A and B are shown apart, each in its own frame.
Chain A
Amino acid sequence: MKIIFLSWFREILRRPTLTILSIVGVALGIATVVAVDIANESAKRSFLAANETISGSTTHRFTGRITDELYRHLRVDLGLDVTPVVEGLIESDRSNTTQLRLYGVDLLAEISASSNYAWREVSIESAATLLSNPFTVLATRDTANSLGWSVGQEIPVSSADGDFKLTLIGLLEPANPLQAQSLRFVLLTDIATAQSVLGKQGYLSVIHALFDDSVQINSIEAFLPDGVYIESQIGQSDSQAALTRAFQINLTALGLLAFMVAMFLIYNTTSFTITRRQRHIGMIRALGALQRDIVLCALLEVLIIGAIATIIGILVGIQLSTFLLELVEQSIATLYFPIFADITVLSFVTIVKAIMLGIGATILLALPAIRKISSTAPSIAIGRSQVETQSTDSGSKLFVIGCSLAVLGTLVLLGNQHSIVLGFFGIFLVVIGYLQLIPLMTEGLKRLLRPIVKRIFGVQGVLAIRAFSSRPGQTSTTIAVLCLALSATVGVDIMVSSFRQTVDEWLISRLRGDIYITTPSQSDSGLASVDVELLENLEGIASFGLAKWAEIPDASGTTTVFAVDYGENAFNGFQFKKKADVDLWREFNAGAAIVSEPYAYRNSIQIGDTVDLFIGRKSVQFPIIGVFFDYSSDQGIVAIHRDTYIRHFNDRTISSAAIFAKPETDLQTIADTIEQRVLTPRARVWRNQELHDASMQIFDQTFAITYVLRTLAIIVAFVAVLSALATLQIERERELVVLRTIGFTVRQNWSIASFETGVMGLLAGIFSLPAGILMAWLLIWVIEQRSFGWTMKMQLDPLILIGAVTLSVVAALIAGAIVTWRKVRKVPAMALQGMD
């Protein structure tokens, strides 16, 4: 037994290239999965931690329009375990990119609480000091350093409410690195300072609560004033969690994609690693080695490859994840809120996944090959007539399998409306089903090509084509792997580009104003009335409209209401998915509402239904006359006329203004004039194009991670193809050497090899197009619409399709070239001798 193992593993050392390729391939697959997993998990953890570090692990929270008095009532009259928060964003000249989060708390309340509030360990002296010294803040050392701020120093900041000076009186000492990250760009202060700086006197942002079972939530809800809500923290049902969910879906999706490609890669490499030993196995079988011995050796080899690859994969994955996390952080910061932690959390589950994939899946995927190889007949006359004896599955059988898988996948897709993972599973089943057809299609194309190739390239061409008929199974698998990876990238590319295009068109259609003025969303006061007067008197302006973004209570939480009066022209910018058969503009003016597509999707709303919003205790119904396309929020928005809004809610504040210039006026001049003269703090003036570009930039940042993962999938596929071709070429080594001996030049051998790989790449590229389009369609249909309620028009960018085919051919050619390089250059005699 010993010597069998010895011979088996010395064989690896004799030809390490393939084994190294296998390890690299498997490791890359694992690294991708690990990286995505870490990024995902870290994003989730740090999001939770970011909330928890400053609020503690509480059970409930109150949101909405919370007055100081409500808090007093809860804490003093009812004796509930609650703590207040006033928070908001401020800007400092010292931080040019990131906003600071001013976080006002009542440390005394936190200290008094029995447990689980974030600041319960703070000393009473520190709490008292912060309380007694207005406009003082605390920050972590990292934050202070990055702002160039030292203790005792005063820095100017600005908020929606004006300019202030804050003094750093001490440092926050996070208990662990996680907290340190969560507290980045957080300025902790007393609630009085926070109210004052943020202009929120009399109001709180959030009340955190720690309720035990004795607290009757119903009875609390009963007396809550209108516009205040209580949410359970345990279900993570708040909207911020929903926002990160969107991210996780995309990340998980791409992770699964990488996983999928990795598995095919593993299958490919393990089966090649094993099948290339056929000759060796024949020999030792003839000498009396049992099937069992062979299986053991093969298993051990796969196990070792898997184990090494797993270790490397995890290590590389960790590295990779930091990179991914930076991208995630960027998107989160852009979209959601300015702090985000880039901690890498290598969880137990991630390691289990990696091991499952690296060792479990590797062995499982190697089993078919091992089974086949173990039944390899011992052979005496090795090297004489070793032909592929096992018949490959017939085309019709594969066709049946493929179709059944596709049907099964479709059933999974139709049967489950909510699970993203199942959605992906369904998509993969369909795509795998499609891959079944590859041998059939390869065979068909080969027949089609053969006469042409023979005419054009002569015997050399036929020799290259021959590879497909002599090893149909192997060739098809190689093509399938490449095809899968390509279709994944084509799918993601088409999805993202369709999305981008849709958003672009939507922005162009919606942004009808020439110039916009926007105010920060945290600002309650909005655009100052002097600025409205400015617009009224400014030259070059044909008209302008005002709008208000408001969070209005509804039956289950709050609804984002866009109260707009930009005029009829701008109203025509709404593109309707469904609309009532009425004069929309007139009805809209008369008090009807239109809702965005995600809003309709989330609330299962039809034309003719109503939106119920609360004004004080009573609710008001707004009839819905249209569902419009909108990509600004995955939570959905309701648009009503600003006059309607003012009539019901008596709120004349303004969030933004759209300005329509007179024809042939210089927009830049008007914009500059407004910018110079506008008095509202932190109001921003945008020209149409700027607003459009800024929105698209956010879009691109959001999908940056998608592009990276797509590139990774291509790299994995490339390695897969490299190893597959390497094996194919090693098997053809003898043939090439023979060709050399009978007079083929190095160049001719080169062209044969390149032709062969090139054709494989071409086939994979062509086959990937329908699969990629199919995948894009499913992604758009299953993932985007299902999770976000967004309709996208699928755009088939020919560049993507051509790019995929080109990429495939080039990748195959490069892989082929790398592999063939040494082989064809060998002096024939030497090569023949080395051949045992």
Chain B
Amino acid sequence: MASIRPAIFAVICVLLVTAALWNFYSPDPPELESSNLSISEDILQLDNQTFALVRGPREFNFPNDHGAHLEFRSEWWYFTGNVFTSNGEHYGYQFTIFRQANGESKIKTHSDWESNHIYMAHMALTDAANNKFYSDEIFARGAAGLAQVVASPFSAHVDHWSATGRLINDCTGCMALNIRAEGDGFAIDLDLKSIKPVVYQGDRGFSQKGNSPGNASHYYSLTRMETKGNISVRGTIEAVNGLSWMDHEWSTSALDDQLVGWDWVSLQFDDGRELMYYQLRTEDGKAFETSEGTLVDENGGTERLIKEDVEFNSTRIWTNPSTNISYPVAWTFQIPHKNLSLEIEPMIDAQEHDNIFRYWEGAVNVVGMEGTKRIVGSGHLELVGYE
């Protein structure tokens, strides 16, 4: 008959094993998945009528105009450049701060965090030798000291990505800047110094984009900035030298409805000249009539180029296998009346920013002829609105 003793032994054995299991095994919590949210835009009542429109040329005033123009909806500070190591290895970089404002709310929170300005910063680095392209983006509100652009001394930052500097008196609007940013796996720390005065794009810095009145921007550039500093890729730091280009542009609305995107190019030639040209594309892929550009001479003198002055044609399509979007990455650029003909080739094809905002922007090499004179240089090409 049943006796208690063996039961105790068995119970103790089982209890010990189970106690061990109880104590020491604890499953990992489930992998975190991100929740999402859906917002009904139509119930929001923001006042979008408060923004100023760009209706004509303005009087630029530095250093103030290097800063933010919060009365306009959109604004950007664009730094692009081509730099070289002492071994001649070629890197392209981009550092951009965008500001975008939403309409203002009628009710206020009285919190320092409240803001209707959203800042976005993009940075990219093209490592031609290794055929690599790095790109990253961050966002921050224009409040609580998280993102802002101040004119003097110049300070533009989104989180810890920054461009800071001051006006130098060598030439109009000229600046000395330090750009410092750290992306996912790469970083830049560059000193820029402009050696040519500000170039006002379009009509004295008034750049008509669409046909409707107000669909325009204020737009100026620092087309030649000597650049030196360090770049780092995956922990390796390289000292580099080269040239940078700065654009600053602001508007409230720019494109007409029928415009789907643009192809923009900035070129710095070894002979000391620069060229900027953009074409706005309509839905059928044609260049819109307001497409235009500027040719800058060695001394900073400018010549405005309109659509009829140039032939700007793509010569090669590259398709990003991961996004399946095709971009015209190689171009020819001609100014027939100057007998100027250029071939623009990307440093590498794969320079698509595959982030929340997707576009192609990258360093390019340019070679060509002006009459019998050979021209070489480098620059940046931006392709927006491809799907």
A and B touch in the complex (CB under 8 A): yes
Q: Are A190 and B113 in contact (CB under 8 A)?
A: yes
The 7 nearest A-B residue pairs measured at CB: A368-B6, A79-B160, A170-B39, A175-B33, A132-B102, A121-B34, A192-B113
Q: Do A388 and B1 contact each other (CB < 8 Å), given the known contacts A49-B30, A129-B44, A192-B111?
A: yes
A422 within 8 Å of B (CB atoms): yes
Contact A122 B37 (CB under 8 A): yes
* B114 on the A face (CB < 8 A): yes
Contact among A178, A192, A193, A348 for B30, CB-based, below 8 A: A178
Which chain A positions have C-beta within 8 A of B109? 134-135, 192-193, 195-196
Taking a contact as CB atoms closer than 8 A, the residue among B4, B30, B120 that contacts A436 in the complex is: B4
Partner of B103, one of A132, A134, A192, A401: A132
Show 8 A/B contacts (Cβ-Cβ < 8 Å), sorted by A. Answer: A114-B184, A170-B40, A192-B114, A201-B110, A356-B14, A471-B1, A474-B1, A477-B2
A132's partner among B2, B14, B112, B116 (CB-CB below 8 A) is B116
- Counting CB contacts under 8 A, is B140 at the interface? yes
Taken residue by residue from 60 to 88, chain A's Cβ proximity to chain B (1 for < 8 Å, 0 otherwise) reads as 00000000110110011111000000000
A384-405 CB contacts (< 8 Å) to partner B: 388, 390, 392-393, 398, 401, 405
Query: When A78-B160, A183-B35, A393-B3 are in contact, do A106 and B10 touch as well, CB less than 8 Å?
Result: no
Out of B15, B102, B145, name the residue touching A260 (CB < 8 Å). B15
A79 in contact with B159 given A45-B30, A53-B35, A122-B36 (CB within 8 Å) = yes
CB distance from A592 to the nearest CB of B (A): 41
Complex CA distance for A75 and B7, rounded to whole angstroms: 63
Is there contact, CB below 8 Å, between A275 and B138? no
Which of chain A's residues 17-56 have a Cβ closer than 8 Å to chain B? Answer: 41, 44-45, 48-49, 52-53, 56
Q: Check B139 against A127 for contact (C-beta < 8 Å).
A: yes
Using known A-B contacts A127-B139, A192-B109, A193-B111, determine if residue A72 contacts B145 with beta carbons closer than 8 Å: yes
Contacts of A474 in B (CB 8 A): 1-2
Taking a contact as CB atoms under 8 Å apart, the answer to whether A171 and B37 are in contact is yes
Q: In the complex, what's the smallest C-beta–C-beta distance from A716 to chain B, in angstroms? A: 15
Shortest Cβ distance from A405 into B: residue = B8
Is there a chain B Cβ closer than 8 Å to A527's Cβ?
Answer: no
Contact (Cβ within 8 A) B113 A191: yes
Beta-carbon contact of A151 and B105 below 8 Å? no
Of B21-29, B274-282, B308-316, the segment with at least 4 beta carbons within 8 Å of chain A is B21-29
Q: A342-369 toward B: CB 8 Å interface, digit per residue (1/0)?
A: 0000011100110011001100110111
Query: Are A188 and B139 CB-contacts (below 8 A) given A108-B118, A275-B2?
Result: no
CA gap between A170 and B35 in the complex, in Å = 13
B43 beta carbon closer than 8 Å to chain A? yes
- CB 8 Å contact bits of A124-154 with B (1 = contact, 0 = none): 1111111111111010000000000001100
Chain A residues with CB under 8 A of B17: 356
CA distance A401 to B104 in the complex (A): 82
Instruction: Tell whether A202 pairs with B46 under 8 Å between CB atoms, given A259-B18, A349-B25, A421-B23.
Output: no
Q: Does B41 contact A (CB under 8 A)?
A: yes
Chain B residue with the shortest CB-CB distance to A252: B22
Q: How far is the CB of B111 from chain A (nearest CB, A)?
A: 4
Report how far A117 CA is from B160 CA in the complex, Å.
Answer: 19
Does the CB pair B6–A367 fall under 8 Å?
yes
Note all chain A residues with C-beta closer than 8 A to B35.
53, 118-119, 121, 172-175, 179, 183
Cβ of B5 < 8 Å from any Cβ of A? yes
Instruction: Given the known inter-chain contacts A122-B37, A425-B19, please indicate yes or no for A151 contacting B43, CB distance below 8 A.
Output: yes
Q: Taking A49-B29, A108-B141, A128-B118 as contacts, is the C-beta distance between A365 and B5 under 8 angstroms?
A: no
Interface size on A, residues (CB 8 A): 121
Q: Are A435 and B40 in contact (CB under 8 A)?
A: no
Using a CB-CB cutoff of 8 Å, which residues 181-201 of chain A contact chain B?
183, 188, 190-193, 195-196, 201
CA distance A116 to B356 in the complex (A): 17
- B106 and chain A: residue at smallest CB distance: A134
Other-chain residue from A114, A191, A367 in contact with B111 (beta carbon distance below 8 A):
A191
Nearest B-chain residue to A361, judged by Cβ: B14
Whether, in the assembled complex, B144 has its beta carbon less than 8 Å from a beta carbon of chain A, the answer is yes
In the complex, whether A271 has a CB less than 8 A from a CB of chain B is: yes
Is A793 at the interface (CB under 8 A from chain B)? Answer: no
B interface, how many residues as a size bin? 35 or more
- With A79-B182, A171-B38, A425-B15 as given contacts, are A106 and B32 in contact (CB-CB < 8 Å)? no
Residues in B whose Cβ lies below 8 Å from that of A477: 2-4, 7
Chain A hits for B25, CB < 8 A = 349
Flag if A131 contacts B141 (CB, 8 Å). yes
Inter-subunit contact A357/B18 (CB<8 Å): yes
Contact B111 A263, beta carbon cutoff 8 Å:
no
- B129 contacts the other chain (CB 8 A): no
Chain A residue contacts of B23, Cβ below 8 A: 419, 421
Residue of B nearest to A167 (CB): B43
Q: Which residues of B contact A48 (CB under 8 A)?
A: 29
- Our pick among B5, B37, B146, B157 for the contact of A393 (Cβ within 8 Å) is B5
- The proximity string for B residues 212-248 relative to A, scoring 1 for CB distances below 8 Å and 0 otherwise, is 0000000000000000000000000000000000000
- Residues of B within 8 Å of A49, CB to CB, are 29-30
- Which residue among A117, A131, A405 has the maximum number of chain B CB atoms within 10 Å of its CB? A131
| Residue pair B146, A120 in contact (C-beta under 8 Å) | no
Over the window 783-820 of chain A, the binary record of Cβ atoms lying under 8 Å from chain B Cβ atoms (1 yes, 0 no) is 00000000000000000000000000000000000000
Cα distance A179–B3 in the bound complex, in angstroms: 52
**B interface with A by C-beta (< 8 Å):** 1-8, 10-19, 21-23, 25-27, 29-30, 32-41, 43-44, 46, 100, 102-105, 107-116, 118, 120, 137-141, 143-146, 157, 159-160, 182, 184, 356
Q: Does A569 contact B (CB under 8 A)?
A: no
The answer, among B13, B27, B140, for a CB contact under 8 Å with A347, is B27
CB distance from B5 to the nearest CB of A (A): 6
B10: chain A residues at CB < 8 Å are 263, 267, 361, 364-365, 367-368
Cα distance A190–B108 in the bound complex, in angstroms: 13
Q: How far is the CA of A405 from the CA of B4 in the complex (A)?
A: 13
Given contacts A172-B37, A477-B3, 7 further A-B contacts (CB under 8 A): A44-B26, A76-B159, A116-B32, A131-B115, A133-B46, A170-B37, A349-B21
Partner among B40, B118, B143 whose Cβ is within 8 Å of the Cβ of A152: B40
Query: Which chain A residues numbered 475 to 516 have a C-beta less than 8 Å away from chain B?
Result: 476-477, 480
Q: Is the CB of B14 within 8 A of A365?
A: yes
Q: Is A57 an interface residue (CB 8 A)?
A: yes
Residues of A within 8 A of B16 (CB): 425
> Hey, which chain B residues are within 8 Å of A57, CB to CB?
29, 32
A133 to B23, CA, bound (A): 49
- A365–B159 touching, CB < 8 Å: no
Cβ A135 vs Cβ B107 within 8 A? yes
Do B32 and A118 touch across chains, with their CB atoms under 8 A apart? yes
CA distance A415 to B380 in the complex (A): 74
The answer to whether residues A138 and B39 also contact, given A132-B116, A275-B2, A364-B14 and a CB cut-off of 8 A, is yes
Report if A598 contacts B (CB, 8 A): no
A201:B112 contact, CB within 8 angstroms: yes
Give A803 to B62 CA distance when docked, in angstroms: 92
Of A71, A124, A356, most buried by chain B (CB within 10 Å of CB) is A124
Q: Which residue of A lies closest to B180 (CB)?
A: A79
Of A116, A349, A356, A361, the residue contacting B27 (CB under 8 A) is A349
Q: A264 at the A/B interface (Cβ < 8 Å)?
A: yes
Chain B residue nearest in CB terms to A420: B23
CA distance A432 to B7 in the complex (A): 10
Bound-state Cα–Cα, A476 to B19, Å = 27
CB atoms of A360 and B159 under 8 A apart: no
Contacting residues, chain B, for A347 (C-beta < 8 A): 27
Interface centre among B23, B32, B116, B139 (most CB of A within 10 A): B32
Please state if A195 and B1 are interface contacts (CB–CB under 8 Å).
no
- Give the chain A neighbours of B120 by CB distance below 8 A: 124
A653 to B23, CA, bound (A): 45
Q: How far is the CB of B284 from chain A (nearest CB, A)?
A: 28
8 Å CB contact of B15 from A114, A188, A367, A428: A428
- Bound Cα distance A138, B143 (Å): 22
A179 vs B1: C-alpha distance in the bound complex, in angstroms?
Answer: 55
Option from A275, A348, A357, A438 in Cβ contact (under 8 Å) with B14: A357
